[in-house]
A and B are shown apart, each in its own frame.
Chain A
Amino acid sequence: MNAPLRRAGVVVLVLFALVFGKLNWVQAYKADDYRTDPRNNRVQVAEYERPRGAIEAGGQTLASNTETEGELKYQRIYPKKEIYAPVIGYKPVNLGATGVENFENDILSGSSDKLFADRVSDMFTGDKTGGGNIVLSLIPAAQEKAWKEMVNNERGVKRGAAVAIDPTTGAVQAMVSMPSYDPNPLASHDDKIAVAEYRKLDSEKGQPLLNRAVASTLPPGSVFKVIISAAALESGAYKLDTEVPAGAVYQEGGATIRNSADEVCPGGEITLKEALTTSCNTAYSRMGVKLGRDVVIDTAKKFGFEDESLRVGDLEDLNTGLSVAASRTGAIANQDGSVDKAALAQSSLGQRDVRMTPLQGALIAATVANDGKQMRPYLVQQQLDSDRRSIYTAKPKVLREPVTSDVAGGLREMMISVVQNGTGKNAKISGFSVGGKTGTAQNAEGADDHGWFIGFAYDKDGKAVSAVCVMLENVPGGHASAEAARIAGEIMKAAGRGGD
């Protein structure tokens, strides 16, 4: 009987070896997958053991925590609800975090190497010190004003975005996207509530989860004339008082260009400055065609078009931050690659395949206001450790220098004229010298135009205090850009006062 007993022993050995093998598979090979599986909330429990850092701006708390009785010890709360949601995003228990909550997670959760000292002291004291805090560059007065003016716009527009930037530093002063959402239900510890809320928001037609300020690209219309003006001045062949051909109608390669109204530049010639002030379509189409496709595309690129890698976060890690969609000029080419002049004429007016994000619009205005230097936009002003000692302070960086100081000066004069005497009068605000450019972008048949305004404001001391872009989608009833200009003025006023 001993031989079969020995074999039984071998069988048991084999069975145990199988279990051992499977254990290795589960605990070694698949361990990382299982540890980070969304259904494994052990990691989350550990994550909620310590309070997550706060997100603040201008002395106001935008994201903080309350203690709970539950297994997850801290509940994330967003007191400002939808006003800041597109920027700071939300930190849900199971879904992925977004916005500042996502790209500054290392600091907020306390896992960053910069907070190593906190972690070491935790080991000795047994405390659970919170994560680091994030101070945003947003100016609460400007942000709240922007949100209020956007949602209460006089034209009943439901969708749009606004961005304000400090032209001299690149600090984002305001960034709103409409419609927005309340991030609080998404951070609910009850998975069912969070998921239901996410599904609801995700399926809404207005796409509230989309941060239109950086993610939405729409035809910029006449705003693009600033680019054409820059190209013209840079070429050396044009000055502000150079007479450029205009006219009521301009035909080029099958495209017919008309002005927005009969009284706009019906004559044969008009100065460059006047052309921008009145937003003369025929003059800019002709100018764009004359400058040529490559110059137009190249100048747009110098201002930041076609940049696929720009992110707005902190200035330390340029690979994190809100991802900015690339603005486009389109190919402006026939099928054989040659210049499509009809397309070029239309593209010079920011139509056809030209697409721009509101952030890109603000960057153009900021560049003009900052003597041709485009500062890298950023949102994170400071990172603080749990004891509020600074571990990072933003040091502004030049992103690009698209035009010379002289050209920028010319553009500035032209844009100020737009607000003083031209299409952008709505943006005028007392106490500031304001310049800008309106844009009305035609859409597919039947849809209302988009209204744009990009602009900048100088205070009494001649300091550029704010550059802004307002975009309203599908504005009913014509003159789409007028309301955008008005809102832009309000935002710049709030930013100019609160920014000191």
Chain B
Amino acid sequence: MTASAVPAPTPTSTGEMSRIRGLKTRRNAELGLLVFAMLLVAAFGATVEANQFDEIRPGFWLPAALIGTLFLGLHMVVRFTAPYADPVLLPAVALINGIGVAFLRRLDIARAIAQETPEPGLFADTSGRQLAWTLLSLVLASVLLLVLRDHKIISRYAYTLGLVGIVLMMIPAVLPEDYSEVNGAKIWIKFGAFSIQPGEFAKLALVSFFAYYLVRKREVLSLASHRFLGIDFPRGRDLGPVLTVWLFSLLVLVFEKDLGTALLYFGLFVVTLYVATERSSWLIIGLLLFFGGVYVAYLLGAAIGGPFANFYDRAELWLDPFSQENYTRESGNSYQLVQGLLGLGTGGLFGTGPGAGSPGKVPEVRTDFIFAGLGEEIGLFGLSAILIIYLLIVERGLHAALAVRDSFGKLVAGGLAFTLGLQLFVILGGITGLIPLTGQTTPFLSAGGSSLMANWLLIAMLLRISDAARRPANTPAERAGGPKKAPTQLHGAMTEVIKP
């Protein structure tokens, strides 16, 4: 059977909708929003200078102007390669990325003042490096948009990507701790002064692989079942891949000592599975497996320690971070979590104002705890705004998934957007004490090249898919010899025949 795995869209579904709304490219709206976002970033930078130096020095204009130019560059790339892309995604991400760089610069300035060294140069120190990473990320995102004119092309390399994803995911687990562990979480590859978090990229590769695999398997997974307690459960043999991934996540949890990453991989898989099959039993199975696994890991940590001890410790800290015992423990104490919470509390509703707080008191405020540092200075209102912008990004991604016509695109966009949301929940929930703390980066805010590049690639994918979703069936550009019409057939895809 060689028919397309992509079911033809029904006229009343999203296809129709996007065709009507796709008449306008909305690029100028994007430009307007982008300019507004850059003004906000510049204002943030100016306030920082005013609070730190008691005067606004000209130095702050350069990073702000450079970052603004970079985003305008990406805007131009989008204008020409994905004209129908979602107009909100780019400005929203640009705002958070810009605030991130500006906040890192604020931390660098404070450090420079404390050490009586001159104000850091354009590409110096953490904020300068982050600016350089942003530059590189935007170049990568532009390249992706330029090269990948149709997201379905990715499906050709699905198995390669799947393999790459699993390898990336497993590398830190098998590397010796010297080369892979930072702050108790083995999720790094370190060589010399340079370190990357392969998991950030693994995420993208795995989503693509899952999407491809599930598009092929969705029929058999959604139709063949046993009914039990009113819920349709899949056949035992179909459970294989799910159980494999579950096992992988738990291995990650144990060997990379990181609950967040495990939750991320597993959540990503379960959600794409659920979206593909439309069967809530997968969700229930997934949740039960995950939380069962986590609870067992907690019990094992309490009983035998060993590889489970780290997770058990983190759970204990989460349950009562303020207890004197947890706070003053020799290693693995709740100092960071508590200082983060105290910083957030000090910020209160309105915050101290950018540059006027002491976020430097929170360990790892440049990376994992940037949200707490930012919260001290912009307060609950500022953080709520950031939270809403993040939500906007995720929901726009899901919206692209809803609107796009092909199943593969739906799964990729849905999976990526949901993963982004889940990652935000894991780290922000950890910082605020909602869930046990795990070392995740805060997308677009935290200092770090891997995270920034991977997440910009994610956004580029979403832009690409949203462009496909809103693009009219035949645009003048295509008729005038634009990019070739996208292949309607998913590479190598076929629907597996159900054998009862």
List chain A positions with a Cβ less than 8 A from chain B: 1-6, 8-9, 11-13, 15-16, 18-20, 22-28, 30-35, 37, 39-43, 45, 71, 126
B345 x A39 contact (CB < 8 A): no
* B312 smallest CB distance to A (angstroms): 22
Q: Which of A18, A22, A32, A41 contacts B361 (CB 8 A)?
A: A41
Q: Which of A4, A5, A42 contacts B346 (CB 8 A)?
A: A42
A1 x B407 contact (CB < 8 A): yes
**Given contacts A8-B398, A26-B345, A42-B343, A15 and B421 within 8 Å (CB-CB):** yes
Interface string of B2-43 (1 = CB under 8 A from A): 000000000001100000000000000000000000000000
**Given contacts A1-B276, A19-B432, A27-B348, A34 and B341 within 8 Å (CB-CB):** yes
- The number of residues on chain B lying at the interface, defined by a beta carbon within 8 Å of a beta carbon of chain A, is 53
Q: Which of A12, A18, A25 contacts B391 (CB 8 A)?
A: A12
B387 x A19 contact (CB < 8 A): yes
Q: Which of B274, B345, B410 contacts A31 (CB 8 A)?
A: B345
B390 x A27 contact (CB < 8 A): no
B residues near A2, Cβ cutoff 8 Å? 13-14, 402, 410
Q: A9 vs B393: C-alpha distance in the bound complex, in angstroms?
A: 11
B391 x A27 contact (CB < 8 A): no
Q: Flag whether B246 is at the interface (Cβ < 8 A).
A: no
21 A-B residue pairings within 8 Å (CB atoms): A1-B278, A1-B414, A2-B402, A4-B274, A8-B271, A12-B395, A15-B425, A16-B387, A16-B424, A19-B434, A20-B384, A20-B387, A23-B387, A31-B345, A34-B341, A35-B346, A39-B327, A39-B339, A40-B339, A40-B343, A42-B361
* B474 smallest CB distance to A (angstroms): 24
Q: Which segment of B64-72, B142-150, B375-383, B450-458 sits at the interface?
A: B375-383
A26 x B402 contact (CB < 8 A): no
For the complex, would chain A's binding face be called helix, strand, loop or mixed by DSSP majority? helix
* A22 smallest CB distance to B (angstroms): 4
A residues near B433, Cβ cutoff 8 Å? 22, 26
Interface string of B92-132 (1 = CB under 8 A from A): 00000000000000000000001000000000000000000
Q: Which 10 A-B pairs have the closest CB atoms?
A: A34-B345, A12-B421, A40-B342, A27-B380, A15-B425, A22-B432, A31-B348, A22-B434, A4-B275, A9-B398
Q: Which of B275, B342, B344, B432 contacts A39 (CB 8 A)?
A: B342
B residues near A34, Cβ cutoff 8 Å? 341-342, 344-346
A16 x B345 contact (CB < 8 A): no
Q: Flag whether B347 is at the interface (Cβ < 8 A).
A: yes
Point out which of B276, B345, B347, B358 has the most chain A C-beta atoms below 10 A from its C-beta: B345
CB nearest to A15 among chain B residues: B425
**Given contacts A5-B275, A5-B398, A16 and B391 within 8 Å (CB-CB):** yes
B residues near A13, Cβ cutoff 8 Å? 391, 395
* B155 smallest CB distance to A (angstroms): 16
CB nearest to B267 among chain A residues: A11
Q: Which of A9, A15, A71 contacts B422 (CB 8 A)?
A: A15
* B339 smallest CB distance to A (angstroms): 8
Q: A155 vs B54: C-alpha distance in the bound complex, in angstroms?
A: 62
* B200 smallest CB distance to A (angstroms): 19
* B380 smallest CB distance to A (angstroms): 4
Q: Flag whether B210 is at the interface (Cβ < 8 A).
A: no
B residues near A15, Cβ cutoff 8 Å? 421-422, 425, 429
Q: Flag whether B338 is at the interface (Cβ < 8 A).
A: yes
Within 8 A of A (CB), among B291-332: 327
Q: A40 vs B338: C-alpha distance in the bound complex, in angstroms?
A: 9
Q: A37 vs B414: C-alpha distance in the bound complex, in angstroms?
A: 43
A16 x B421 contact (CB < 8 A): yes
* B330 smallest CB distance to A (angstroms): 15
Q: Flag whether B411 is at the interface (Cβ < 8 A).
A: yes
Q: Flag whether B401 is at the interface (Cβ < 8 A).
A: yes
Q: Flag whether B357 is at the interface (Cβ < 8 A).
A: yes
With A12-B425, A18-B434 known, 4 other A-B pairs at CB within 8 A are A1-B278, A4-B275, A22-B433, A27-B347
Q: Which of B54, B407, B411, B422 contacts A126 (CB 8 A)?
A: B54
Within 8 A of A (CB), among B385-414: 387, 390-391, 394-395, 398, 401-402, 407, 410-411, 414
Q: A9 vs B420: C-alpha distance in the bound complex, in angstroms?
A: 12
Q: A24 vs B384: C-alpha distance in the bound complex, in angstroms?
A: 9
The count of A-to-B residue pairs whose CB atoms sit within 8 angstroms is 137
B residues near A25, Cβ cutoff 8 Å? 432
Point out which of A4, A30, A126 has the most chain B C-beta atoms below 10 A from its C-beta: A4
Q: Which of B14, B387, B432 contacts A26 (CB 8 A)?
A: B432
Q: Which of A16, A31, A35 contacts B390 (CB 8 A)?
A: A16
B384 x A35 contact (CB < 8 A): no
A residues near B375, Cβ cutoff 8 Å? 23, 27
A31 x B343 contact (CB < 8 A): no
Interface string of B422-437 (1 = CB under 8 A from A): 1011001100111000
Q: A54 vs B417: C-alpha distance in the bound complex, in angstroms?
A: 60
Q: Which of A3, A19, A27, A45 contacts B429 (CB 8 A)?
A: A19
Q: A31 vs B342: C-alpha distance in the bound complex, in angstroms?
A: 8
Q: Flag whether B136 is at the interface (Cβ < 8 A).
A: no
* B272 smallest CB distance to A (angstroms): 9
B341 x A26 contact (CB < 8 A): yes
Q: A35 vs B433: C-alpha distance in the bound complex, in angstroms?
A: 17
* A384 smallest CB distance to B (angstroms): 28
Q: A21 vs B275: C-alpha distance in the bound complex, in angstroms?
A: 28
* A240 smallest CB distance to B (angstroms): 64
Q: A28 vs B343: C-alpha distance in the bound complex, in angstroms?
A: 12
B383 x A18 contact (CB < 8 A): no
A45 x B358 contact (CB < 8 A): yes
Q: A30 vs B432: C-alpha distance in the bound complex, in angstroms?
A: 12
B residues near A1, Cβ cutoff 8 Å? 275-276, 278, 407, 410-411, 414
* B142 smallest CB distance to A (angstroms): 28
B residues near A3, Cβ cutoff 8 Å? 278
CB nearest to A46 among chain B residues: B358
B residues near A20, Cβ cutoff 8 Å? 384, 387
A5 x B434 contact (CB < 8 A): no
A19 x B425 contact (CB < 8 A): yes
* A134 smallest CB distance to B (angstroms): 29
B410 x A28 contact (CB < 8 A): no
Q: A19 vs B402: C-alpha distance in the bound complex, in angstroms?
A: 25
CB nearest to B351 among chain A residues: A27
Q: Which of A6, A18, A39 contacts B402 (CB 8 A)?
A: A6
**Given contacts A27-B345, A28-B349, A45-B358, A8 and B387 within 8 Å (CB-CB):** no
Q: Flag whether B60 is at the interface (Cβ < 8 A).
A: no
B residues near A45, Cβ cutoff 8 Å? 358
A23 x B345 contact (CB < 8 A): no
Within 8 A of A (CB), among B483-500: none
A30 x B345 contact (CB < 8 A): yes
Point out which of A11, A12, A25, A35 has the most chain B C-beta atoms below 10 A from its C-beta: A12
Q: A296 vs B61: C-alpha distance in the bound complex, in angstroms?
A: 82
Q: A39 vs B380: C-alpha distance in the bound complex, in angstroms?
A: 21
A residues near B269, Cβ cutoff 8 Å? none
A24 x B380 contact (CB < 8 A): yes
B residues near A31, Cβ cutoff 8 Å? 345-349
Q: Which of A9, A11, A35 contacts B345 (CB 8 A)?
A: A35
CB nearest to B359 among chain A residues: A42
B278 x A4 contact (CB < 8 A): yes
Q: Flag whether B418 is at the interface (Cβ < 8 A).
A: yes
CB nearest to A41 among chain B residues: B361
Point out which of A15, A25, A26, A126 has the most chain B C-beta atoms below 10 A from its C-beta: A26
* B405 smallest CB distance to A (angstroms): 11
* B210 smallest CB distance to A (angstroms): 14
Q: A473 vs B283: C-alpha distance in the bound complex, in angstroms?
A: 78
CB nearest to A14 among chain B residues: B425
Point out which of A6, A11, A13, A28 has the most chain B C-beta atoms below 10 A from its C-beta: A11
* A290 smallest CB distance to B (angstroms): 60
Q: Which of A11, A23, A33, A39 contacts B384 (CB 8 A)?
A: A23
A residues near B346, Cβ cutoff 8 Å? 31, 34-35, 40, 42-43
* A3 smallest CB distance to B (angstroms): 6
* A26 smallest CB distance to B (angstroms): 5
